[in-house]
A = this chain, B = another copy of it.
Amino acid sequence: MLNPSKNAHSLDPRQGGRELVFSTIRARERVARIDIAQETKISAATVTSITAELIAEGLVEETPRDPSAGELKRGRPRVDLKVRGASHIVAGLKFSNNKVTVAILDFVGNPIGEYERRMPTSQFDIEGLASFTKDVLETATQSCGLQISDLSGVGVGLAGIIDAPKGFVHWSPQLKNRNVDLRSLLTKTLDLPVFIDNDANLVAMAEQWFGYGRNISDFIVVTIEHGVGMGIVIDGKIYRGTRGCGAEFGHTKVQLDGALCRCGQRGCLEAYLADYALLREANIANTLDEEETSEEKLVALFREAKAGDETAKLIFQQAGSMFAMGLANIVNIFDPALIILSGERMQFEYLYEDEVIEQMRQLVVQVDMPAPEVRIHTWGDLMWARGAAAYAMEGVTKIALKRISGHAT
């Protein structure tokens, strides 16, 4: 059985019942007070007083109850509560190779706008990034009748090594500078709370909020794009390691002295799975037309494989085997309830074929219990941006709830 956790969305319950109650309402979408009490083990009396505060603050509202079937019709009817979407609006930005994607969400998590723009350069200096961000955000908000100042927070996703709690970028392929306190800069530029994280973690957060990870306390997200990334959720929280550079799934070694990786080492998983790795193999095999872009080449290669070309097929099969091995190692170490394979290139089905999953299961330590579930998600940059927005939402929620403690009832 999966392992549902009360406090999904990583709100820290130790700060008291308010977080717990609020996150329960958010997780359940609509829920009556008495159900909150039951689920959180907080007394009904306390639930009443906490929800009263939340309603007074405008964070939560009552809503007529869904006439759900199969329910006892006697006694005073329950009144459902839900998060009031209008109370806060957040934006999330995902910077990828050649474009930036913006998602604007209300406080429930419903999308209220999106926007995309090509990147003017592949590498910014920080001032450039800040002013570009502001400009993009201005356009994005205007496109749905808002201003930047209507937002309560902004989440930003970058590739690279990032100390998320501090909002500090050790290194990012998209930045000229190293070791930058990007959060401080953006907070000043935008005059808003800003939250920054590694983009792989943001996919994990998107899954946690909007995808298959809802109400699952331990799961892992693997993404294959230009590189191979991983996000780890343990006990409802993103696990980040001690130096902020954990979860480098793409650079786990699957072969001693194996294929050369762009990181300079040998035998990395990425060196067998990433686009450049597949193309390298194909080039050696001379199956490709020299005129195409790498994107096109990859599509062509895939088509050949599907059409039955043995060489092309072998290339994907080899990649699939390595992938199965890498995944199995994750399972053997983490024993997660769920593995989510997510990314745009998910169309290269060979990697996600049942066959690969089956290979993976073969390589997992055999116990009485069933192997973890594997689910596949074809998500593009927009979902990553929503993950960034969700990250901002967590931060904004914390701030909003903390404010209540201040001016208590």
**A interface residue numbers (CB < 8 A to B):** 3, 13-14, 161, 170-171, 178-179, 217-218, 230, 232, 234, 239-249, 251-256, 263-265, 267, 321-322, 325, 328-330, 332-337, 362-363, 365-369, 372
Contact = CB atoms under 8 A, between A and B. Distances in A.
B363 A253 contact: yes
A217 to B, nearest CB: 8
B249 A333 contact: yes
Given A171-B367, A234-B239, A249-B332, 6 more contacts: A161-B367, A179-B368, A243-B372, A245-B369, A248-B335, A256-B325
A218 B242 contact: yes
A123 B107 CA distance: 58
A365 B245 CA distance: 8
A286 to B, nearest CB: 25
Contacts of A265: 362-363
Most buried by B among A3, A14, A248, A263: A248
B255 A332 contact: no
A241 B335 contact: yes
B248 A333 contact: yes
A330 to B, nearest CB: 7
12 contacts: A14-B14, A170-B369, A232-B333, A234-B234, A243-B335, A243-B367, A243-B369, A248-B332, A248-B365, A253-B363, A255-B255, A256-B322
A241 B365 CA distance: 13
Total copies of this chain within the assembly: 2
A362 B217 CA distance: 34
A175 to B, nearest CB: 14
A296 to B, nearest CB: 30
Contacts of A255: 255-256
A74 B330 CA distance: 57
B369 A246 contact: no
Most buried by B among A218, A252, A333: A333
A363 B248 CA distance: 12
A333 B242 contact: no
A266 to B, nearest CB: 9
Given A171-B368, A234-B234, A263-B366, A334 B241 contact: yes
A264 B367 CA distance: 13
A253 B218 contact: no
Nearest to A265: B363
B336 A242 contact: yes
